[in-house]
């Protein structure tokens, strides 16, 4: 009777899409498949409403490191950008060299000034040639350095130092521009 009851319970749960599972043991490895087939060529989007940049933050993930640029506006406001690898980072306007540490430099240009275009009031506290305020990338697998290069003619320029020239992707979600840089070139890597 006990076996019949257990079998009926399992069938009922399976029928509801709630398959019974047993907890994983502590020795079970957590596997993540890292498929970063993004490439390393420049990524761009030209449409933009030129809303002000509010904040920049970063995060660590199993397969990539992430930088998020928060822009004033809504999901309906397009955020223009150009992200690509450069040999050196030169500040727009002056052409001055902005040193960025790491094995490769990703230049992030976003069509979002660090000030309100209508009032001129600063909206982001970045200082030229300095690390991004409030961003701590110690312990990251891919990110090595961050530098604010300034805002010029409606665009903000950021230098992102990475371990090596690695695949990356860029996309907009809501009022955020997201830059993900993979930990490696391998696809199907299990970590």
SS (H, E, C) the chain: CHHHHHHHHHHHHHHCCCCCCCCCCCCCCCCCEEECCCCCCCEEECCCCCCCEEEEEEEECCCEEEEEEEECCCCCCCCCEEEEEECCEECCCCCCEECCCCCEEEEEEECCCCECCCCCCECCCCCCCCCCCCCCCCCCCCEEEEEEEEEECCEEEEEEEECCCCCEEEEEECCEEEEEEECCCCEEEEC
**What's the chain's average pLDDT?**
84
68 within some domain: yes
137 part of a folded domain? yes
Task: Provide the domain count of the chain.
Answer: 1
Query: Domain with 68 in it: what CATH number?
Result: 2.60.40.3500
**What is residue 187's predicted lDDT score, i.e. its pLDDT?**
54
State the pLDDT confidence band at 12, using cuts at 50, 70 and 90: very low
Q: Is the pLDDT of residue 151 over 50?
A: yes
Give the predicted TM-score (pTM) of the model: 0.80
Domain that holds residue 101: 39-184
Domain assignment of residue 34, yes or no: no
pLDDT for 31: 54
């Amino acid at each position: 009777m006990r076996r019949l009851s257990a079998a009926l319970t399992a069938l009922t749960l399976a029928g509801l899409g709630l398959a019974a599972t047993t907890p994983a043991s502590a020795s079970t490895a957590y596997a993540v498949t890292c498929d970063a087939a993004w490439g390393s060529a420049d990524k761009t989007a030209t449409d933009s409403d030129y809303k002000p940049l509010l904040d920049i933050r970063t995060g660590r993930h199993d397969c990539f490191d992430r930088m998020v640029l928060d822009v004033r506006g809504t999901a309906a406001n397009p955020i223009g950008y150009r992200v690509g690898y450069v040999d050196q980072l030169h500040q727009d306007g002056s052409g001055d060299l902005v040193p960025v540490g790491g094995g490769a430099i990703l230049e992030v240009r976003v069509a979002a000034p660090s000030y309100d275009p209508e009032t001129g009031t600063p909206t982001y506290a970045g200082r030229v040639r300095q690390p991004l305020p409030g961003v701590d990338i110690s312990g990251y697998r891919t990110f090595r350095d961050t530098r604010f290069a300034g805002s010029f003619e409606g665009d903000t320029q950021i230098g992102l130092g990475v371990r090596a020239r690695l695949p990356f992707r860029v996309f907009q979600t809501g009022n955020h521009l997201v830059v993900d840089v993979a930990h490696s070139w391998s696809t199907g890597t299990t970590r």
